[in-house]
Amino acid sequence: MTDTPSSTGEPLSQLTFDNRLVKQLPADPLRDNYPRQVPNAIYSFVNPQRAPAPQLVAYAQDVAALLDLTPEDCTSERFVQVFTGNELLPGMEPHATCYGGHQFGQWAGQLGDGRAINLGEVKNRQGEHWTLQLKGAGPTPYSRTADGNAVLRSSLRELLCSEAMHHLGVPTTRALSLTLTGDQVQRDMFYDGNPEWEPGAVVCRVAPSFTRFGHFEILTARGEVDLLRQMADFTLRNDFPELGPPGRDSYIALLKEVCVRTARMIAHWMRVGFVHGVMNTDNMSILGLTIDYGPYGWLEGYDPGWTPNTTDAQGRRYRFGHQPQMALWNLLQLANALYPLVEDAAPLEAALDEYRREYLRSFQRDSVAKLGLPEYRPETDDKLTEDLQRLLPLVETDMTIFYRCLADFDPLVDQAEDSRSDAQLIEPLLPAYYSPPTEEHQQRTADWLRQYRERLVQEWVRTGLDQRQRRERMNRVNPKYVLRNYMAQQAIDAAEQGDFSEVYRLLELLRNPYDEQPQSQRYFARRPEWARRRPGSSMLSCSS
């Protein structure tokens, strides 16, 4: 392997590949690219389709750095050709993988990388492996009846949100680049018989691996237990070496670890107000990463029943408040998939219990961290946090603004009595309300603030924390800037007209979501009224 700096060679020539998945797991023997069932294989070799006129829209500098790429590499002609799928670098072995999944509660059979093509695994200077995956670079054997393409709007949503999530501290796949192919792609955005032509685009996603629950499910559903064992062993060796050599104990440990990581990921989603929208088991990462950004959304008004996905509007299976349960349901499917390797339900059930424990632990810790309290004390905090959960949805209250403003509520700890009126108490919170609070709501909120104040006083006497420290702590867990749905849509509208400046602005803003950024204060505002019913801002579908 060479480690040539790019300045001495062609752009990107410093990338070296170590394609462990291709090396270690069995391939589909067929090389022809047509839709089919692919039994007895983990992946199929497939080349990206040719893009007529590749153009770079944006790249993420932090992801480029992970791959040891310089800004010169990322703005080179070679970069745009490679990451739109027109050129392969030495060492790349493009392939699409086979997986299945439960979609909206039903077993859906083989799905697979229908429009994702893995280029290979980069081994960076630190020895880390990063898989590069093009999304939207053409059909694969797993495309079923679809075209393998992606459009600009959904690709931009993926780029912006995966990077925003990373900087919020939420485990996620990353995005290196977004390019236009120069092709037009037809999409019927709301499946209502109104197809339109949209610009075709490709995102290069980056993660240590893209293994999903569905990779295991499909093998068990087909009775391919040998292959299931190979897949589990491969995952243990490469993604979870700390769990020890492959074997019955480490298969159980694997499920337990996936439970813990998934619990932490979901707790993060609940902390920042993220709704994935399509938590099917084919969209669940074995590494506990947020993956497959489709019709996701961010809570504006705090509403546990909200889902951004119009395709899920009926059952609202994947609504905000249901995500913790849905993750457990998905983990149960993973446990079933691993059962043939363990052949004993008890340890698998024990692993699932670990999800419940870890989720509760993380959720409780985050709930009080959001209030500036260092630890969860059930005797006071069960009631304090439950009362707040009940209070927030009563009137339309912007979640992000509420918590950020709550840090400005001064508990006046030095004063024995708090003589402020209801109106005075809730004053700092007013920017969070979509309509002026009624007297009754004011009173309920003030009552809660008094209960909260009491808890803070108790804590401060014990720890000596002061208001400045409390504010700082709160502002480290309660983001100031999130990717509100209308913000993404505005960037899309401009980008579709060839103006990418809003994309760059948002990428930069969302790199520091917890920081005060006075020049960007306009993004710290309630959703504008026009966005309430605008497609893309309030209504999203799986069409992408």
Q: Which residues bind ligand AMP (CB under 6 A)?
A: 111-115, 142-143, 146-149, 278, 282-283, 292, 294, 542
The closest of 25, 78, 68 to 216, measured between CA atoms, is 25
Q: How far is the CB of 291 from Mg ion (least distance, A)?
A: 8
Distance CA 183, CA 199 (A): 6
Decide which of ligand AMP, Mg ion, none touches 233; Cβ closer than 5 to 8 Å per partner kind: none
Q: Pick between residue 109 and residue 340 the one whose CB is nearest to ligand AMP.
A: 109
Shortest-Cβ-distance residue relative to ligand AMP: 114
Distance CA 122, CA 309 (A): 34
Shortest-Cβ-distance residue relative to Mg ion: 292
Q: How far is the CB of 145 from ligand AMP (least distance, A)?
A: 8
Check: CB of residue 136 under 8 Å from CB of residue 158.
no
Decide which of ligand AMP, Mg ion, none touches 148; Cβ closer than 5 to 8 Å per partner kind: ligand AMP
Decide which of ligand AMP, Mg ion, none touches 115; Cβ closer than 5 to 8 Å per partner kind: ligand AMP
Q: Which stretch binds Mg ion (CB under 5 A): 15-23, 76-84, 246-254, 291-299?
A: 291-299
Residue type, 175: A
Distance CA 475, CA 508 (A): 19
Active centre residues (catalytic)? 282
Residue 113 interacts with Mg ion (CB under 5 A)? no
Q: How far is the CB of 272 from ligand AMP (least distance, A)?
A: 22
Check: CB of residue 327 under 8 Å from CB of residue 267.
no
Q: Can you read off the two tokens belonging to residue 268? A: 């993060």
Q: Residues 121, 292, 300, 358: which binds Mg ion (CB under 5 A)?
A: 292
The per-residue DSSP string of 126-177 comes to: TS-EEEEEEESB---TT-TTS-SB-BHHHHHHHHHHHHHHHHHT--B-EEEE
Q: Pick between residue 54 and residue 148 the one whose CB is nearest to ligand AMP.
A: 148
CA dihedral sign, ordered 264, 267, 268, 274: positive
> What DSSP character marks residue 413?
T
Which pairing describes strands 95-97 and 106-110: parallel, antiparallel, or unpaired?
A: unpaired
Q: How far is the CB of 543 from ligand AMP (least distance, A)?
A: 9
Distance CA 425, CA 453 (A): 11
Residue type, 452: Y
Q: Residues 49, 177, 262, 283: which binds Mg ion (CB under 5 A)?
A: 283
End-to-end CA distance of the chain: 38
Q: Can you read off the two tokens belonging to residue 327? A: 């993750």
> What DSSP character marks residue 314?
T
Q: Which stretch binds Mg ion (CB under 5 A): 138-146, 172-180, 268-276, 281-289?
A: 281-289
Total residues binding Mg ion (CB under 5 A): 2
Distance CA 278, CA 292 (A): 9
Q: How far is the CB of 117 from Mg ion (least distance, A)?
A: 14
Q: Pick between residue 147 and residue 396 the one whose CB is nearest to ligand AMP.
A: 147
Q: Which stretch binds Mg ion (CB under 5 A): 282-290, 362-370, 513-521, 533-541?
A: 282-290
Decide which of Mg ion, ligand AMP, none touches 132; Cβ closer than 5 to 8 Å per partner kind: none
Residue 358 interacts with Mg ion (CB under 5 A)? no
Where in 42-61 is the site for Mg ion (CB under 5 A)? none
Q: How far is the CB of 154 from ligand AMP (least distance, A)?
A: 9
Q: How far is the CB of 219 from ligand AMP (least distance, A)?
A: 16
Q: How far is the CB of 217 from ligand AMP (least distance, A)?
A: 13
Residue 158 interacts with Mg ion (CB under 5 A)? no
Place of tokens 């800037």: 481
Distance CA 481, CA 401 (A): 9
**How many Cα atoms within 13 Å fall on the side-chain side of residue 190?**
10
Q: Pick between residue 153 and residue 167 the one whose CB is nearest to Mg ion.
A: 153
> What DSSP character marks residue 301?
B
Distance CA 454, CA 412 (A): 10
Distance CA 236, CA 239 (A): 6
Rg (CA), the chain: 24
Distance CA 131, CA 210 (A): 8
Q: Pick between residue 144 and residue 377 the one whose CB is nearest to ligand AMP.
A: 144
Q: Pick between residue 44 and residue 283 the one whose CB is nearest to ligand AMP.
A: 283
The closest of 171, 100, 69, 176 to 133, measured between CA atoms, is 176
Q: How far is the CB of 289 from Mg ion (least distance, A)?
A: 13
Q: Pick between residue 91 and residue 109 the one whose CB is nearest to ligand AMP.
A: 109
Decide which of ligand AMP, Mg ion, none touches 114; Cβ closer than 5 to 8 Å per partner kind: ligand AMP
What's the angle, vertex CA 481, arms to CA 479 and CA 486, rounded to 5? 135
Q: Pick between residue 478 and residue 541 the one whose CB is nearest to ligand AMP.
A: 541
The per-residue DSSP string of 331-387 comes to: HHHHHHHHHHHH--HHHHHHHHHHHHHHHHHHHHHHHHHTTT-SS--HHHHHHHHHH
Q: Pick between residue 14 and residue 84 the one whose CB is nearest to ligand AMP.
A: 84
* Contact residues: Mg ion, CB under 5 A: 283, 292
